[in-house]
Amino acid sequence: MFDSFRKELSRRHLLHKAGFGFMAVGVSGAIEYIIKPSRTLAQAAPAPSKEPSLPPEKKLGWAVVGLGKFATEQIMPSFAECKRSKLVALVSGDRAKAEKYARQYGINSKNIYDYQNYDNLRNNPEVDVVYIILPNGLHAEYSIRGAQALKHVMCEKPMANTVEECQAMIDAAKKANRKLMIAYRAQYEPYNLAAIQLAQSGKLGKLKAVTSDHGRILDPKDPADVWRMDKKLAGGGSLYDIGIYSLQAARYITGEEPAEISAFTYSTPGDPRFRQVEENVNFTLRFPSGVLANCTSSYGYSSTKRIQVFGSDAVLELDPATDYYQHRLYINRNNRREEQNIEEKNQFALEIDHLSESILANKQPKTPGKEGLQDVKLMNLIYQAARTGEKVKV
C-alpha cells in the first residue's frame, strides 16, 4: 500500500517539477501559496519557509497508546516524516506485540507501558505527548489519565462518546496546563486545505451547497470492526466512525456552525452488525449564511469519501476527499472539468508536527478539544432529529 503511495508522491513531485499547478502547505498546515497551471518551472519560486524560530534539532517525544490497525499501519510509520516529533514510547496490553514494534522503531524497552502502569509515564521525561488511538469509548479515560500524568494529549476522532466526557477531557488538560488536540487529519491535509481556500475565497462564486458522503462496509471478521459494533466502545454507529468526516467537511468548507439540523437513520432489519449501532444516517444542515449541506454516512456501501462544494460560478469535487493518500480535486466551470494538481503530503506527519509545534510555541492547536466537543454535540443532535422526526435548532 505504501509503495503505491510513494509512487504517487513521486508522480506528483514530477508534475510539480514540470510546472503544473500545486498548492504548498507548511508544517503548520497553513496554505502558503498557489501556483497557477500556466506558470513555468523558471517562474516557480520555492515555498517561503514558515518554520518557527525554534532550535532545528528540537523534537518532542511521543507515546502511542493502543497498537491497533490505525496506529501501526498509518501513525507509527509517519513519525519518520515528522520534523518536530519522535516516537519514544508505546502503551499496549500485549507485551510481545509492543516489544516487536519497539525493536522495529528503535524504542527502548523501558519505555513500554501497559494500561495499568500507564500513569507512570508521569516519571518519564522523554515523553511529552500521548497519542490516544484506542476504541472511542476509552478516549476520555486515557486522555484524562494522560493529562494527569502531565503529558500533552492528541486524541483520535471521535473525541469521546458523550459531551460530558469531552468536557471532562478539556477540563483535565486545562487543569494540568497541557494541550489537547483532536486528530482531525483532514484539516491538515493539502487537498482539503485547498478546497477550503477555494470555497472561502469566493473562487467558486457565492456558496450555495455542500454535499459529503462517507461510507464503508463494516466487517465483523475484522478485529478492528468488532468493537465498532459495541455501542459502549464505539459511542455510535457509522456517524461516529465515518459520518463525522461528512460533518467536519460541511463545517470546515463553510467555516460556519450549523443553525438547524434534520436527519434520518436506517439499519437493515435483522442484520446482526446493527443490533447496537446504526448503519445509515443522512442529515441536512442549514448554515446561517443560507448554505445547505447534505451529508451521508453508511456502514452498508463500499468505500466512499467524497466532498462537493456548489458555488454560483463553479463546482468543486474532492474525490477521494478524506483517504489516507491519492486525493483528487476537480473544478467544474462553464461545462469544463479541470483537475487541480496539488502536492500530496503525509497528513499524519503534518498533524502530529502541528501539535508539537503548538506545544513548542505555546499556541492553541488548530483542532483543540472544543472542536471535538462540537462534533459530539452535533452528532447527538443529528440522532435527536432522526429519532424525533423534527428539525432541531442548534
Q: Is 391 in the site for ligand NAD (CB under 6 A)?
A: no
Q: Is 183 in the site for ligand NAD (CB under 6 A)?
A: yes
Cβ closest to ligand NAD, residue 351 vs residue 357: 351
Q: Is 194 in the site for ligand NAD (CB under 6 A)?
A: no
Q: Is 185 in the site for ligand NAD (CB under 6 A)?
A: yes
Site string for ligand NAD, 270-289 (x = CB under 6 A): --------------------
Residue 366 to residues 9, 18, 57, 183, 350, Cα–Cα distance (Å): 26, 33, 23, 10, 12
Least distance in angstroms from the C-beta of 198 to ligand NAD: 23
Grid coordinates belonging to 92: 499496549
Catalytic residue, chosen from 240, 245, 324, 383, is: 245
Closest CA to 289 of 259, 269, 247, 253: 259
Q: Is 350 in the site for ligand NAD (CB under 6 A)?
A: no
Tell me if residue 100 is catalytic.
no
Alpha-carbon distance of 214 to 301, in angstroms, equals 9
Tell me if residue 240 is catalytic.
no
Least distance in angstroms from the C-beta of 87 to ligand NAD: 16
Binder among 25, 35, 134, 295 for ligand NAD (CB under 6 A): 134
Q: Where are the beta strands (DSSP E) in 142-215?
A: 152-155, 180-182, 207-215
Binder among 105, 227, 301, 330 for ligand NAD (CB under 6 A): 227
Least distance in angstroms from the C-beta of 102 to ligand NAD: 15
Q: Is 235 in the site for ligand NAD (CB under 6 A)?
A: no
Which residues partner with 260 through β-bridges? 286, 393
Q: What is the three-class DSSP state of 187?
A: helix
Alpha-carbon distance of 124 to 126, in angstroms, equals 5
Q: Is 66 in the site for ligand NAD (CB under 6 A)?
A: yes
Least distance in angstroms from the C-beta of 174 to ligand NAD: 22
Q: Is 243 in the site for ligand NAD (CB under 6 A)?
A: no
Q: Is 145 in the site for ligand NAD (CB under 6 A)?
A: no
Q: Is 93 in the site for ligand NAD (CB under 6 A)?
A: yes
Alpha-carbon distance of 148 to 129, in angstroms, equals 12
Catalytic residue, chosen from 59, 151, 157, 345, is: 157
Grid coordinates belonging to 41: 518551472
Least distance in angstroms from the C-beta of 200 to ligand NAD: 23
Residue 391 to residues 108, 163, 259, 386, 394, Cα–Cα distance (Å): 54, 20, 10, 9, 10
Which residues partner with 34 through β-bridges? 23
Stretch that binds ligand NAD, among 1-9, 16-24, 61-69, 163-171 (CB under 6 A): 61-69
> What pairing do the DSSP bridges indicate for beta strands 304-311 and 292-298?
unpaired
What letter would DSSP give residue 368? B
Q: Is 136 in the site for ligand NAD (CB under 6 A)?
A: yes
Cβ closest to ligand NAD, residue 20 vs residue 245: 245
Contact, 171 vs 147, CB < 8 A?
no
Least distance in angstroms from the C-beta of 289 to ligand NAD: 28
- Angle (CA) 351 355 359, round 5°: 165
With cell 487541480, the residue in question is: 340
Residues that bind ligand NAD (CB under 6 A): 66-71, 93, 133-136, 138, 156-157, 183, 185, 223-224, 227, 233, 241
The residues carrying an active-site annotation are: 157, 245
